[in-house]
Amino acid sequence: MLSYTEENYLKALLQLTVEKGNKEGAGTNELAVHLNLKPATANDMLKKLKEKKLVEYEKYGKSSLTREGRRLATDVVRKHRLWETFLFEKLAFAWDEVHEVAEQLEHIQSKKLVDKLDEFLGFPGFDPHGDVIPNARGELQMRSTKTLHEEVVNHRCTMVAVKDNAASFLQYVNQVGLRINDTIHVLSRQPYDDLMEIEVNGKKSSISSRFAENIVVSCKDCDIAKPKIKSLNAIK
Amino acid sequence: MLSYTEENYLKALLQLTVEKGNKEGAGTNELAVHLNLKPATANDMLKKLKEKKLVEYEKYGKSSLTREGRRLATDVVRKHRLWETFLFEKLAFAWDEVHEVAEQLEHIQSKKLVDKLDEFLGFPGFDPHGDVIPNARGELQMRSTKTLHEEVVNHRCTMVAVKDNAASFLQYVNQVGLRINDTIHVLSRQPYDDLMEIEVNGKKSSISSRFAENIVVSCKDCDIAKPKIKSLNAIK
DNA sequence: AAATAATGTTAGGCAAATCTAACAAATATT
DNA sequence: AATATTTGTTAGATTTGCCTAACATTATTT
């Protein structure tokens, strides 16, 4: 049985590696920053998780999850996203409020609870932020992650997710009038600072490059329509 | 902010005092046994909670909750019972499965979550075991607690709750065919060991005194129909 | 290549929550 | 009332997860 803390380390490593496509693994400092801890603390835990065969760690090297570690981390992510969906769909939470509470709920230990919750929600594929919910077998659908920042001027695309789940960012997205599945028309881009002008539902807005980098979009020529299954069993 | 552990101590004290009508308070050993800990551990925590003004504790004396301690403990109980109701009503858990999971869920910190959950469930008054759910103001309805053991031969009564929430007991209750709101007809009682014969929904069963003591019942002449509100503000 | 900066590690310490073992006080029994 | 039993307390140790401070390694820059 993993502690609350150990689960958070595994989840962080999953986010810093698999989800960000950072194949070599995550550095100790990077991990510490992500978890708001000191590097010394992260270092201790990496050694502990290596002992438990959940993490690949070598002195002065990058760390990554073992197959078992990835399975456990994926399960935490699954729970997190199912709870977010519950809060949003059933309890009428706003999308910028669900993350914080799900951070607590994701650690509840009960296989039955997760499976029943999944069923109660109608086996959802995506959470309120557009992120893929891993299925009960620990499989995580991978989507190509083109961001609005990479979109071409004059093209239209559809918003499918956000990359940053922080309440402050999500509230800003609301303010711009952007919602998942909305069509975004890119009107212009300043070459100097990549400031973009976009139109959504008839409303024009100027957005910074930092903002645009956190909006995940799909377009006709994207391969987003044919998602690949990244099975844990497929990983040697 | 209280730790998970501190909340459990407060809840235990509530159960050992207010709920069991044990006015003088609970002993250190008694508390330790209830929480499956050593008396030395409970002793340390009592001193810590006294410092925080949540518990009245004097060396070699009985301990009880302060008004603030009782408020916090009642809130934990409220969350526990709301979650049990959710699991039972919405996720189709059996009544002997809800307690264990609710022991974890009761510690989730989010006022909004509790209020929304309460609303989602239709502001339920009782949990799946027939226990009263404290309301959002921390008020706990008190019911007279006549047990089946105290019922007179040949009388009929209605099962309103169980006193023991352990899965093993609840499964036994299922086996006897007893459910909340069922009418129980007391057919006989052996003077020697208080073994009772009862009839429920046409089915006759023999039950031990220990079993009967854990079934809470109501009858026409009980004052159970007019519950008193035990408000925290009413307690000096 | 040497100096500087960034990153990672180790050692030692602290607080929370638990334990054991020894001791003290209160209660019950003879 | 003396003794035995139960109950409660204290002191010291352990584990987990965190810290700071000093040091070591690797990467970057001049």
**Same domain for B56 and B28:** yes
Residue after which a domain boundary falls, among B142, B162, B189: B142
**Is the pLDDT reported for residue B142 higher than 80?**
no
| pLDDT at residue A222, rounded to an integer | 59
**Same domain for A119 and A177:** no
pLDDT-derived band at B221 (thresholds 50, 70, 90) equals low
Q: Which residue is nearest to nucleotide C24 (CA to C1')?
A: B60
Taking the C-alpha atoms of residue A49 and residue A43, their distance in angstroms, rounded to an integer, is 10
**Same domain for B138 and B77:** yes
Residue after which a domain boundary falls, among A114, A142, A170: A142
Task: Tell me if B152 is assigned to some domain.
Answer: yes
The nucleotide minimizing the C1' distance to residue A57's CA is C8
**Same domain for B102 and B154:** no
B10-55 pLDDT, tens per residue?
A: 999 999 997 777 778 999 999 999 999 999 999 999 999 999 999 9
Task: Tell me if A42 is assigned to some domain.
Answer: yes
CA distance B111 to chain A (A): 10
Of A97, A105, A116, the CB nearest to B92: A116
- At a 7 A CB cut-off, the residues bordering strand C are A 27-30, 39-40, 43-44, 46-47, 57-62; B 3-6, 36-38, 40-41, 44-45, 48, 60
| pLDDT at residue B28, rounded to an integer | 97
Total domain count for chain A?
3
Residue in chain B closest to A120 (alpha carbons) equals B91
Task: Tell me if A22 is assigned to some domain.
Answer: yes
**Same domain for B111 and B134:** yes
Helices (H), A17-163: 28-35, 39-51, 67-89, 98-105, 111-120
The three-state DSSP-derived secondary structure of B12-36 is HHHHHCCCCCCCCCECHHHHHHHHC
**Same domain for A107 and A82:** yes
| pLDDT at residue A201, rounded to an integer | 94
**Same domain for A94 and A115:** yes
pLDDT along chain A (236 residues), means of 10: 97 89 89 97 98 97 96 97 98 97 98 98 97 90 84 94 94 95 95 93 94 91 46 34
Can you give the residue range of the structural domain that contains B154?
Answer: 148-218
Task: Tell me if A199 is assigned to some domain.
Answer: yes
**Same domain for B159 and B115:** no
**Hey, which bits of chain A come out as E strands?**
55-56, 64-65, 140-142, 156-162, 183-189, 196-200, 203-207, 215-218, 228-230
**Is the pLDDT reported for residue B178 higher than 90?**
yes
pLDDT-derived band at B222 (thresholds 50, 70, 90) equals low
pLDDT-derived band at B140 (thresholds 50, 70, 90) equals confident
Contacts of A21 (CB under 8 A, 6+ apart): none
Q: What is the domain-level CATH number for residue A21?
A: 1.10.10.10
| pLDDT at residue A197, rounded to an integer | 96
**Is the pLDDT reported for residue B190 higher than 70?**
yes
Contacts of B65 (CB under 8 A, 6+ apart): B10, B13, B14, B17, B18, B54, B55, B56, B73
| pLDDT at residue A235, rounded to an integer | 31
Residue after which a domain boundary falls, among A87, A115, A142: A142
**Same domain for B152 and B122:** no
**Is the pLDDT reported for residue B225 higher than 60?**
no
**Same domain for A138 and A152:** no
**Same domain for B47 and B12:** yes
| pLDDT at residue A57, rounded to an integer | 97
Nucleotides in chain C near protein beta carbons (<7 Å): 7-12, 16-22, 25-26
- The DSSP secondary structure of chain B, one letter per residue, reads ---HHHHHHHHHHHHHTTTTT-TT-B-HHHHHHHHT--HHHHHHHHHHHHHTTSEE--TTS-BEE-HHHHHHHHHHHHHHHHHHHHHHHTS---TTTHHHHHHHHTT---HHHHHHHHHHTT--SB-TTSPBPP-TTS-EEE----BGGGPPTT-EEEEEEES---HHHHHHHHHHT--TT-EEEEEEE-TTT--EEEEETTEEEEE-HHHHHTEEEE-TTSGGGSPEEE-STT--
